[in-house]
Amino acid sequence: MTFENLGLIEPILKALEAEGYKYPTPIQEQSIPILLKGKDLLGCAQTGTGKTAAFAIPILQHLYKNKTSDKGRRKIKALVVTPTRELAIQIGESFTTYGKFTGIKNTVIFGGVKQLTQTQALQRGVDVLVATPGRLLDLIDQGYISLRDVEYSVLDEADHMLDMGFIHDIKKIIAKLPSKRQSLFFSATMPTEIIALSSKILGNPEKVTINPEQTTAEKVEQAVYFVSKGNKPKLLTHLLQTEVFGSVLVFSRTKHGADRIVKLLGKANIKAAAIHGNKSQASRQRALENFKNGEVSILIATDIAARGIDVEELSYVINYDLPNISETYIHRIGRTGRASLSGVALSFCDGEERPYLKDIQKLIGKEVPVITDQPYEDDGTFIPSKKNSRSQQRPQSRSGRPERSGGGRSSSGRNAGSSRNKSSASGRSARGHRSTGSTSQSKPRRSFSKKSN
Ligand code: AMP
């Protein structure tokens, strides 16, 4: 299957070619024909599958074909609502990229920053608006936005909208949309509340499901290190100094933990930046930019802050803390192994986190090999204490709004002499590790080689 076979118009084909996209991903192959026919779509897919292009391309094609010679300001014809600023920016960039030969204009609005540049862009007129829910409602209330002319609406990452407490905002937004429109609804998971919400939004939708197991979990090489909580900083330092090169995204469960990791690495002369909700939006953006352009090769992120991170050729994901929600693990490792690339995901698992590992393995349907050839191996002895018990913990995002504020101060390079670009140019291979079954998990010696293909 090629993009031509999908019936795409020349200006879009040209943009895809310029981007180096050769073949549609499964979600694109399945969704684009449905959307070009004008049908509603319920997509069960996560970021990393090529989902953005799956909805942006048909919307651009419709808008291009229905372009009128109307004089006056452009009206918002397509609305994409997404939970985080990072995702919103990413989606806006995708519309710009895929639509660069179509003349279709987009803008992105999100909270946590002054509204002036956003309202100015809106006043100049756009065809596609990408928005986070709070700022969208705010600017509607202030009279800067009218949804009257919307013909295409996309609700992206619906399950995260729910996690972040956006459900009421979403309902308010939906109520303001014209009833005659094409609706698209994407969610990585489909809990009952999400199914109920989708049925309010969609008419008689076609469904497309892209299994996470088929995508990231199968493509990404994974391994786990058993290590005590106290030894995690040492193990991370050791790996970054010896065998993990290239761009590395380290996940921390908490914002505080992310800052602590940056400091600990700093003591070992390893430069890293943190991105999480206690940072200002500007510094979050700066850290992300520096990570994308290679000035900083190690980024420490919380789950929410990482939602919009789309770094081509991300070499490694390291789960410094294992998530207690298994789906989060899939989201995290999906940061690497994007579209046509392979990746490596390494997880640190302390005694308390072993039940999480079990849940993850159940979800991905396979055992994650254990690396035993490492200096800080933990025998897994764990005496639970009330203080340490995480059984009550909820995922970080359930508390309310998405994290406001952002970006770590950037710093660059691994420790002196080791540069991200050097290692990425050389093919970035992590050295061999011995993995054995110190628990029920038994695997022979393994080596990770991160290839981009
Ligand atoms: P998404 O799931 O939309 O976040 O996309 C994940 C990544 O895959 C992004 O970096 C896209 O640029 C890339 N991508 C999307 N579609 C394709 C394709 N057909 N071929 C190659 N890369 C793609």
pLDDT tens digits, residue range 119-150? Answer: 999 999 999 999 999 999 999 999 999 999 99
pLDDT at residue 380 in the model: 60
pLDDT at residue 312 in the model: 67
Q: How far apart are CA 275 and CA 285, in angstroms?
A: 9
93 and 24 housed in the same domain: yes
91 and 147 housed in the same domain: yes
The residue from 158, 179, 210 where one domain ends is 210
Task: Kindly state if the Cβ of 3 falls inside 6 Å of ligand 1.
Answer: no
63 and 206 housed in the same domain: yes
At residue 337 the predicted structure's pLDDT band, cuts being 50, 70 and 90, is: low
317 and 412 housed in the same domain: yes
At residue 20 the predicted structure's pLDDT band, cuts being 50, 70 and 90, is: confident
Nearest one of 223, 227, 225 to 367, comparing CA atoms: 223
Tell whether the model's pLDDT for residue 21 goes beyond 70.
yes
185 and 244 housed in the same domain: no
Could you tell me the pTM of the whole model?
A: 0.59
142 and 249 housed in the same domain: no
* Of 397 and 329, the one with more pLDDT: 329
53 and 30 housed in the same domain: yes
Task: Kindly state if the Cβ of 308 falls inside 6 Å of ligand 1.
Answer: no
| Domain CATH code at residue 311 | 3.40.50.300
91 and 198 housed in the same domain: yes
Q: Which domain holds residue 70?
A: 3-210
Residue at 441 is within a domain: no
Task: Calculate mean pLDDT across residues 175-197.
Answer: 92
Q: How far apart are CA 135 and CA 82, in angstroms?
A: 11
Task: Kindly state if the Cβ of 167 falls inside 6 Å of ligand 1.
Answer: no
Output the residue whose Cα is nearest ligand 1's atom 1. 50
Q: How far apart are CA 376 and CA 71, in angstroms?
A: 68
Token look-up 């390893």 returns 270
Q: How far apart are CA 286 and CA 346, in angstroms?
A: 26
Residues 236-285 pLDDT 10s:
999 999 988 888 999 998 889 999 999 999 999 999 999 887 777 787 88
Tell whether the model's pLDDT for residue 174 goes beyond 90.
yes
125 and 268 housed in the same domain: no
How high is the mean pLDDT of the chain? 81
Residue at 445 is within a domain: no
124 and 252 housed in the same domain: no
pLDDT at residue 338 in the model: 60
Output the residue whose Cα is nearest ligand 1's atom 22. 339
Residue at 443 is within a domain: no
Q: How far apart are CA 134 and CA 85, in angstroms?
A: 11
Ligand 1 centre distance from Cα of residue 66 (Å): 26
Q: How far apart are CA 293 and CA 299, in angstroms?
A: 12
Residue at 435 is within a domain: no
Q: Which of 131-135, 149-153, 217-221 has the lowest mean pLDDT?
A: 217-221
The residue from 187, 210, 233 where one domain ends is 210
Residue-by-residue DSSP string for 257-286: HHHHHHHHHHHTT---EEESTTS-HHHHHH
Task: Kindly state if the Cβ of 47 falls inside 6 Å of ligand 1.
Answer: yes
72-86, 190-204, 308-322: which is most confident: 72-86
Q: Which H/E stretch holds residue 219?
A: helix 218-219
39 and 14 housed in the same domain: yes
Tell whether the model's pLDDT for residue 31 goes beyond 90.
yes
187 and 237 housed in the same domain: no
Residue at 396 is within a domain: no
pLDDT at residue 355 in the model: 93
Measured at the alpha carbon of residue 277, what is the angle toward residues 328 and 233, in degrees to the nearest 5? 65
Nearest one of 167, 160, 201, 164 to 184, comparing CA atoms: 201
To test the pocket of ligand 1, the residue of 44, 340, 341, 342 to mutate (highest count of ligand atoms within 8 Å of its CB) is 340
Residue at 395 is within a domain: no
Question: Any alpha helices (H) in 268-395, and if so which ranges?
Answer: 281-292, 326-333, 354-364
Output the residue whose Cα is nearest ligand 1's atom 16. 50
pLDDT at residue 37 in the model: 97
For the chain, the domain total comes to 2
Ligand 1 centre distance from Cα of residue 178 (Å): 30
pLDDT at residue 73 in the model: 85
Residue 18 bridge partners (DSSP): none
Residue at 448 is within a domain: no
Residue at 81 is within a domain: yes
Tell whether the model's pLDDT for residue 451 goes beyond 70.
no
Nearest one of 207, 182, 85, 98 to 136, comparing CA atoms: 85
Residues 274-310 pLDDT 10s:
988 777 778 788 888 888 888 899 999 988 777 666 6
Residue 129 bridge partners (DSSP): 79, 107
Percentage, residues of the chain above pLDDT 90: 53
Residue-by-residue DSSP string for 27-84: HHHHHHHHHHTT--EEEE--TTSSHHHHHHHHHHHHHHHT-----S-----EEEE-SS
> Backbone dihedral region of 299: left (phi > 0), alpha (psi from -120 to 50 degrees) or beta?
beta
Residues 41-61 pLDDT 10s:
999 987 777 899 999 999 999
The residue from 192, 210, 228 where one domain ends is 210
Q: What are phi and psi of 200, to 5 degrees?
A: -75, -30
SS3 208: strand
Tell whether the model's pLDDT for residue 397 goes beyond 60.
no
30-34, 162-166, 208-212: which is most confident: 30-34
To test the pocket of ligand 1, the residue of 52, 84, 333 to mutate (highest count of ligand atoms within 8 Å of its CB) is 52
